[in-house]
């Protein structure tokens, strides 16, 4: 421990520095003194190791707390503050048990390691919401959508390196993205594996980053896509388009694009499955004498025969005038419900004609009314 510099001094930060400040300072110094940037420079290599040692302690909250309390002795594997017998169980590093169990059983007890990330990674899926009209949902349409996504940088083709340069293998982990270090415990010496601090699990280091993507290999871009909306789609359903999500990393496949459909309400039609319902008002005369009326459909106006003596609330079916089935094979039906509209604001002559009509027909033509009053008399004994 003799001759070791203060870890805060090594990283050039105050003792009150946040985790983010420590990480930022480390990255700057690690890049400055990295052996790949300073080939053959023993002084830079020594400083690089010193920076890594300081960061390993100060980036770990438990180790940092022991270091603040005991100094270098608090992090020395043989010292009293790092789990040796000299410190007693009060200062034992119980975090070491997590490393031991992880080494033998692959996890548990607050694991702090992660695998290398230097392989292909699939891009993220994207979600998009689209509103269409009732008719567009029924018969299908094509829409242009603008998708904001991460795409492979065309300048470096996803490598992240400047033209004429290639990422170099990290010498600290030999390209594995992981490093091993030995740890002494009361049970003996164990080997622990953790993510490489130099390449952060990537296995490679970009010394000359691409100016377009800053070494990330991907750039954010607005892309316009033509989307086919199938006939028969309903409100709340989702269209999935494979490979139109964010582009993958390091040759990984692209994610998918999921488009959620919202259908605007129609002023006349109401959808029920693949059938359509609508209400049509007719006059008393049309209902009594019968008539041929025009009914709106998704295909235009259709003629519908209202038979003589039609009652309000009667429903007629127009076969095959509903919504097309989503996977083909025909269409649903349209159901037309007629409502008899009682005239308002009659003049005296019109009222007199209706009174004469009522006297002429009496109860003979009002079968439902007559039947109702007969039942009422029986029920009430009148």
Q: Residues 242, 304: one domain? A: no
Q: What pLDDT is recorded for position 103?
A: 39
Q: Residues 258, 326: one domain? A: no
Q: Of 263, 289, 321, which marks where a domain is finished?
A: 263
Q: What pLDDT is recorded for position 116?
A: 46
Is 368 inside a domain boundary? yes
Q: Residues 367, 251: one domain? A: no
Domain that holds residue 111: 7-119
Q: Is 304 annotated as a binding residue?
A: no
Name 146's bridge partners.
224
Q: Residues 115, 154: one domain? A: no
Q: What pLDDT is recorded for position 95?
A: 39
Number of H helices and number of E strands within the chain?
9, 15
Q: State the DSSP string of 48-117.
A: HHHHHHHHHHHTSHHHHHHHHHHGGGGT-TTSTTTT-GGG-GGG--THHHHHHHHHHHS--SS-------
Tell me which residues of the chain have a pLDDT lower than 70: 1-3, 76-118, 185-188, 362-382
Q: Residues 336, 355: one domain? A: no
Is 191 inside a domain boundary? no
Q: Residues 151, 275: one domain? A: no
Q: Residues 337, 369: one domain? A: no
Q: Per-residue pLDDT tens for 282-332?
A: 998 999 999 999 999 999 999 999 999 999 999 999 999 999 999 888 999
Q: Residues 130, 222: one domain? A: yes
Q: Is 156 annotated as a binding residue?
A: yes
Q: Residues 355, 306: one domain? A: no
Is 87 inside a domain boundary? yes
DSSP 7: H
Sequence-ordered list of residues with C-beta below 8 angstroms from that of 37, at least 6 positions apart, any chain: 31, 44, 207
Is 171 inside a domain boundary? no
C-alpha to C-alpha distances, 44 to 32, 167, 206, 239, 256, nearest whole angstrom: 8, 21, 19, 56, 46
CATH of residue 227's domain is 2.60.260.20
N-terminal to C-terminal alpha carbon distance within the chain: 114
For residues 244 and 124, give the distance between their C-alpha atoms in angstroms, rounded to a whole number. Answer: 10
CA 200 to chain CA mean position, Å: 27
Query: Three-class SS of residue 238?
Result: strand
Q: Residues 354, 296: one domain? A: no
Is 207 inside a domain boundary? no
Q: Is 278 annotated as a binding residue?
A: no
Q: What is the 3-state secondary structure (H, E, C) of 110-154?
A: CCCCCCCCCCCECCCCEEEEEEECHHHHHHCEEEEEEEEEEEECC
Q: Residues 281, 369: one domain? A: no
The count of structural domains within the chain is: 4
Is 203 inside a domain boundary? no
Q: Residues 228, 248: one domain? A: yes
Is 172 inside a domain boundary? no
DSSP 370: H
Is 312 inside a domain boundary? yes
Q: Is 210 annotated as a binding residue?
A: yes
CATH of residue 52's domain is 1.10.287.110
Q: Is 170 annotated as a binding residue?
A: yes
Sequence-ordered list of residues with C-beta below 8 angstroms from that of 175, at least 6 positions apart, any chain: 118, 169, 203, 204
């Amino acid at each position: 421990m003799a001759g070791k510099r203060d870890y805060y001094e090594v990283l050039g930060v105050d003792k009150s520095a946040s985790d983010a400040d420590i990480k930022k300072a480390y990255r700057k110094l690690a890049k400055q003194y990295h052996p790949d940037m300073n080939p053959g420079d023993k002084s830079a290599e020594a400083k690089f190791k010193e920076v890594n040692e300081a960061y390993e302690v100060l980036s770990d909250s438990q180790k940092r707390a022991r270091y603040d309390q005991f100094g270098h002795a608090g992090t020395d594997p043989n010292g009293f503050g790092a789990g040796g017998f000299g410190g007693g169980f009060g200062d034992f590093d119980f975090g070491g048990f997590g490393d031991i169990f992880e080494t033998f059983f692959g996890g548990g007890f607050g694991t702090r390691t992660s695998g290398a990330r230097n392989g292909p990674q699939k891009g993220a899926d994207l979600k998009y919401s689209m509103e269409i009209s009732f008719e567009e949902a029924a018969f299908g349409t094509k829409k242009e959508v603008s998708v904001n996504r991460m795409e492979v940088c065309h300048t470096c083709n996803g490598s992240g390196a400047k033209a004429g340069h290639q990422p170099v293998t990290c010498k600290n982990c030999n390209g594995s993205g992981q490093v091993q270090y030995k740890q002494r415990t009361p049970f003996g010496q164990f080997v622990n594996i953790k993510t490489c601090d130099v390449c952060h699990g990537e296995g490679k280091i970009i010394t000359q980053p691409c100016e377009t993507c800053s070494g990330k290999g991907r750039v954010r871009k607005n892309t316009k896509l033509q989307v086919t909306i199938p006939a028969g789609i309903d409100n709340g359903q989702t269209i999935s388009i494979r490979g139109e999500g964010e582009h993958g990393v390091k040759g990984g496949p692209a994610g998918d694009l999921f488009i959620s459909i919202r259908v605007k309400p129609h002023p006349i039609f109401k959808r029920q499955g693949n059938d359509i319902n609508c209400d049509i008002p007719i006059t008393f005369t049309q209902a009594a004498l019968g008539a041929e009326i025009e009914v709106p459909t998704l295909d235009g106006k259709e003629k519908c025969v209202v038979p003589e003596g039609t009652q309000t609330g009667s429903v007629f079916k127009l076969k095959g005038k509903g919504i097309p089935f989503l996977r083909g094979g025909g269409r649903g039906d349209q159901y037309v419900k007629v409502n008899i509209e009682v005239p308002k604001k009659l003049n005296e002559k019109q009222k007199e004609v209706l009174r004469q009509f009522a006297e002429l027909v009496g109860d003979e033509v009002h079968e439902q009314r007559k039947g109702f009053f007969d039942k009422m008399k029986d029920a009430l004994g009148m």
